[in-house]
A and B are shown apart, each in its own frame.
Chain A
Amino acid sequence: DAGVIQSPRHEVTEMGQEVTLRCKPISGHDYLFWYRQTMMRGLELLIYFNNNVPIDDSGMPEDRFSAKMPNASFSTLKIQPSEPRDSAVYFCASSSAHGSPLHFGNGTRLTVT
């Protein structure tokens, strides 16, 4: 299995632009998670899905952030418009049954100038 695949690995954009981060979970996993990591706040859970349905989006910082999971093999995290304070590493993770480990992707390093 290729593991959780995230793209792009790096993204540099200007303030005000739309940014879309992508994630392909491990096949057969029912849960998908989006995390953000910064030096100041550490790893924060933004949102997670179960069977493609958003379960908890309480970590999404504001309306500029949105996430979708149109099918079991793909999810996107969109920021529109982006701001410099959104600069961070964004991780996607997936897991299978209740209690099972989370498998993390390699992350997308976002820089907003």
Chain B
Amino acid sequence: DAKTTQPNSMESNEEEPVHLPCNHSTISGTDYIHWYRQLPSQGPEYVIHGLTSNVNNRMASLAIAEDRKSSTLILHRATLRDAAVYYCMIMEYGNKLVFGAGTILRVKS
């Protein structure tokens, strides 16, 4: 399983952008980069995913490095409801996702 490395925790101020980094140096050419988040007492929630190009959706943006060995999840304006554990994972063939420890995001008002 391709490994990812994320910071244990990050802190942000409300209404400011947040950049959550992820390293995945062993990624293969056909592997997708997936981001999920888990709010307290809830199940994991899909955020965004991509293959090679940067991606935008209503929740966030995903910036993928040219060599694909790292990516950054961007929350454009953090709110208190964005406080959660954010997981970066590599989806290999077969749609298998293995969760790591993730990054705990704290948002200060």
Residues of chain A at the chain B interface (Cβ within 8 Å): 31, 33, 35, 42-45, 48, 50, 55-56, 91, 93, 95, 98-107
Smallest CB separation, B101 vs chain A (Å)? 6
Within the complex, which residue of B51, B94, B95 is in contact with A102, where a contact is CB–CB below 8 Å? B95
**Prevailing SS type, chain A contact patch:** strand
Smallest CB separation, A68 vs chain B (Å)? 19
Within the complex, which residue of B43, B101, B102 is in contact with A91, where a contact is CB–CB below 8 Å? B43
Chain B: number of interface residues, binned into ranges: 20 to 34
Q: Find chain A residues with CB under 8 A from B94 CB.
A: 31, 48, 50, 55-56, 98
Q: How far, in angstroms, from A103 to B47 measured CA to CA in the complex?
A: 11
| A/B pair count, beta carbons within 8 Å | 56
Given the contacts A43-B99, A56-B94, A99 and B44 also touching, CB distance less than 8 Å: no
Q: How far, in angstroms, from A29 to B96 measured CA to CA in the complex?
A: 14
Given the contacts A91-B44, A103-B46, A105-B43, A98 and B93 also touching, CB distance less than 8 Å: yes
Residues of chain B at the chain A interface (Cβ within 8 Å): 32, 34, 36, 42-46, 49, 51, 87, 91, 93-102
Q: How far, in angstroms, from A46 to B108 measured CA to CA in the complex?
A: 36
The contact sample of 27 A-B pairs, CB cut-off 8 A, is: A31-B95, A33-B96, A33-B97, A42-B100, A42-B102, A43-B44, A45-B97, A45-B98, A50-B94, A50-B95, A91-B43, A91-B44, A93-B44, A95-B95, A98-B93, A98-B94, A98-B95, A99-B32, A99-B49, A99-B51, A99-B95, A101-B49, A102-B46, A102-B95, A103-B46, A104-B44, A105-B43
